[in-house]
Amino acid sequence: MGTIIFEYSAWFILLCIALAFGYAFFLYFRDKKLNELSKGKIWLMATLRFFSTLIIALLLLAPLLKTIRTTVEKPVIVFVNDNTESLKLSCENKDDKFTLMQQSVSRIYEQIAEEFDAEAYSFGDKFEDGLKFDYTGKQTNIEDVLDQVTNKYYNKNIGALVLITDGIYTAGTNPIYKVENISYPIYSIAIGDTTVYKDLLVKDLTHNEIAFLKNKFPLEITIAAKKLKGKTAVCQVTNNGRVIHSENIEINSNDFLQKITIFIEAEKAGIQQYNVSLTRMSDERNTKNNYSSFAINVVENKQKILILANSPNPDIAAFRSAMKSNQNFEIDFSLVNDFNKNISDYSLVILHQLPSKENGLTTIYPQLMELEIPILVVLGMQTDFNRLNNLNLGLKVAQSNNAFDNVQGFPNVNFSDFDLEDDLTNLLSASPPLVVPFGDYTLLPHIKTVVYQRIKNINTLKPLIAVGNASANYESNVGFVLGEGMWRWRMFEYKKNGNFDIFDNTINQIVQFLVMKNSRNRFIVKVDRIIPENDEVLFKAEVYNKIFELNNENDVNISVIDSSGRTYDYVMQRSNKAYFLNVGTLPVGSYNYSASTKLGEEALSTGGTFAVVAEDVESQDLVANHTLLYKMSQNAGGKFIYPDNIDSLTYYLQNDQNIVPVSYTTQDLTEFIKYKWIFFLILALLSVEWFLRKFFGTY
């Protein structure tokens, strides 16, 4: 039903009626030519004219049709099933009962769908549509389930969440804290076994991600045991099938936990996989958690970095402290006049305020060029800018009147050679300024700005920090910090955040970029060296022409070879000026890859290795946590239900007073002039009137 309203006063309706009546009256009752017609015919034509005129007059008052629509939204019952490995492992001796539970869940879902709007999902490695019972998920994140449901049904009428799980979470935080912020009840179907069985397990491994060849690295093994007091276990560590450590573990309690630390020598370079195993005990129900493995990247040696300075400066201490946080760097410092070591021992040389007026680097710089050692130039008030410009490193400074300026910085959002810290913008905007030469700067195309200068709160395109690849004059990586006073940035961050994380990480990113071994390689393929089995394997590639401009005109072909020799061939996708490839998840193991492309007629190729390592967190603990589920349901206003009583779920949902439809009222206003039928009605009235006048011979 609708209501007609007018934009003008209702008194105008009477005026329209009077106007239509008067017009019809004078047209038909005052015209002497119509005297020969009967009164009935005159009244018929006058009536037609009255209504056509009235409708037209009323349309001038802009009438609106007001309609009110009521929409009833049924409550949504969301079923979410835990599809992770822990359920299969804990119920492997109860297959019949477990299958019956699955059938009951599916049956109740269908029943609920007849009365409510029901939606079904499963979760494991990811949150996906449908009730799935293959139990292949490698991690359980109940916190993420609550986030997914809340976000998917934001502003929707969520009646309840039915959560089918054992309550064991292996990822995310404790979901009990998330329940405080949700507005729908949780009905927990508590599956899994709460019985504590005899169990010996490798609970955790702590190790470095990188080790150096012929050095020893620490491995901390956390061993747990339940109901095995008085037993002795043997812990072994193997590499390529060879036992490199063996140790007896005396279990002295039924709730046993012990950490042991061993030191392993990195004997071979590359990705090395290690296995940790515990002897199987009699009557152990779960032996899968007696084993664990890990991988590390063994590199041949540390990157030696030399800070060569014109004179002492607090910036030098800031750089040294930042780089010491990276175990892959070995830092040396020397004043330029005191340096007497072999420059070829270093992977990077930081020239602090060099060349200067006192030292033009006439001896050291030719050696750097010949050995193609990457350099990072830090400018300051002692730098001789004429000498620096003559080195043709890719930066030229035209200083005005030997003047300096105080500037802050802001990151270049388009810089993509490495990922800058998320909070770097906030840090730089509030940090004390650097002292930089006042004047103009010229960067060659192969040098990219990392941080721009902000002068008196105005963002400029002048570089403050810049890095680049090989140039025609200096065939290695180069970088520039165009001011002094960075030690203030580091101290400011500590005062603000209580740590040096952003500053140190940014310096290490710059240094790592400069010391890359493939800095002169014009075909670069990047992939993580160690990848968890649940993560997708992502390749990125860059192809540079001879003046080091990115080019992606031709295809990049890449082959991935597993440990059995099987080869998988792919063509990388183009992304901006580079390449990208997602090969999805791969089985646990070691892999080689080779990539090739062409740049004109020139063939380019590269390759490397990576390892996919097991993440077997689901087998670590198979004792169901029903206490957690009970608290979640209680705090959210739902019910805690065991599988044996699963049929009661239907009764609870049907009788929950809070699970009710929600009605929404919508008011619509439509202009009458938009209705086409009114036009045709007016046309019909006038047409019939005209026909009758012709038929009656009045024209």
Please compute, for residue 228, the number of CA atoms within 13 A of its CA located in the half-sphere on the CB side. 24
pLDDT of 699 over the 70 cut: no
CATH number of 426's domain: 3.40.50.880
Q: Specify the 3-state DSSP secondary structure of 293.
A: strand
Compute the distance between CA of residue 67 and CA of residue 3 in angstroms, rounded to an integer.
6
Q: Specify the 3-state DSSP secondary structure of 113.
A: helix
Domain end (from 490, 514, 538): 514
Contacts 24+ apart (CB under 8 A), 671-674: 671/62, 671/63, 671/64, 671/65, 672/4, 672/59, 672/63, 672/64, 672/65, 673/59, 673/62
The verdict on 313 and 235 lying in the same domain is no
Could you give phi then psi for residue 523, rounded to 5 degrees? -130, 110
Query: Which pLDDT band holds residue 518 (cuts at 50, 70, 90)?
Result: very low
| Domain presence at residue 618 | no
Structure tokens at 63: 């009438």
The verdict on 391 and 278 lying in the same domain is no
pLDDT of 232 over the 60 cut: yes
| Domain presence at residue 663 | no
More confident call, 320 vs 423: 320
Which H or E run contains 55?
A: helix 39-59
The verdict on 176 and 111 lying in the same domain is yes
Query: Which pLDDT band holds residue 566 (cuts at 50, 70, 90)?
Result: very high
CATH number of 214's domain: 2.60.40.10
| Domain presence at residue 664 | no
Query: Which pLDDT band holds residue 289 (cuts at 50, 70, 90)?
Result: confident
Average pLDDT, the chain: 85
Q: What is the mean pLDDT of residues 365-374?
A: 88
Q: Specify the 3-state DSSP secondary structure of 301.
A: coil
Domains held by the chain: number: 5
Instruction: Report the pLDDT value the prediction gives residue 92, as an integer from 0 to 100.
Output: 55
Domain end (from 446, 479, 514): 514
- pLDDT tens, 67-88? 777 777 788 888 888 888 777 7
Distances from the Cα of 410 to the Cα of 457, 463, 499, 692, angstroms? 10, 10, 20, 84
The verdict on 377 and 472 lying in the same domain is yes
pLDDT more than 70, % of the chain: 95
Structure tokens at 618: 């689901």
Q: Which residues contact 26 (CB under 8 A, 6 or more apart)?
A: none
CATH number of 128's domain: 3.40.50.410
Q: Are strands 523-526 and 538-543 parallel, antiparallel or unpaired?
A: antiparallel
Helix (H) and strand (E) counts in the chain = 15, 35
The verdict on 318 and 431 lying in the same domain is yes
pTM tops 0.85, yes or no: no
The verdict on 363 and 347 lying in the same domain is yes
Compute the distance between CA of residue 28 and CA of residue 45 in angstroms, rounded to an integer.
8
Structure tokens at 306: 């030399």
- pLDDT tens, 87-138? 777 665 555 567 777 788 888 888 888 888 888 898 887 888 888 887 878 7
Structure tokens at 402: 């030997």
Domain that holds residue 595: 523-613
The verdict on 457 and 542 lying in the same domain is no
Domain end (from 268, 298, 328): 298
Structure tokens at 142: 């109940």
The verdict on 19 and 78 lying in the same domain is no
pLDDT of 490 over the 90 cut: yes
Query: Which pLDDT band holds residue 220 (cuts at 50, 70, 90)?
Result: very high
Q: Which residues contact 220 (CB under 8 A, 6 or more apart)?
A: 204, 205, 206, 207, 259, 260, 261
